[in-house]
Structure 1
Amino acid sequence: MADIVNLRAARKAQARASAATQADINRAAFGRTKAEKQKTDLEANRLQVGLDGAKLERD
Structure 2
Amino acid sequence: MAETINLNKARKRKARAEKERRAEANRLRYGRSGAQRRQDDSEEATARRRHEQHRRDEKPPSSS
TM-score, structure 1 normalization: 0.54
TM-score, structure 2 normalization: 0.50
Deviation at 1:18, TM superposition (A): 0.2
2:1 is the counterpart of 1:6: no
Identify, as 1 or 2, the structure richer in helix. 1
What letter matches 1:10 in structure 2? A
Deviation at 1:24, TM superposition (A): 0.2
Calculate percent identity across the aligned residue pairs: 41
Deviation at 1:16, TM superposition (A): 0.4
Matches within 5 A, 1:6-45: 6-32=6-32, 33-34=36-37, 35=39
Structure 1: 4+ residue segments shifted above 6 A = none
User: Residue 29 of structure 1 aligns to a residue in which SS?
Assistant: helix
Give structure 1 stretches of 5+ with no counterpart: 39-59
Give structure 2 stretches of 5+ with no counterpart: 44-64
User: Larger C-alpha radius of gyration, 1 or 2?
Assistant: 2
Aligned residues between the structures: 37
User: Residue 2 of structure 1 aligns to a residue in which SS?
Assistant: coil
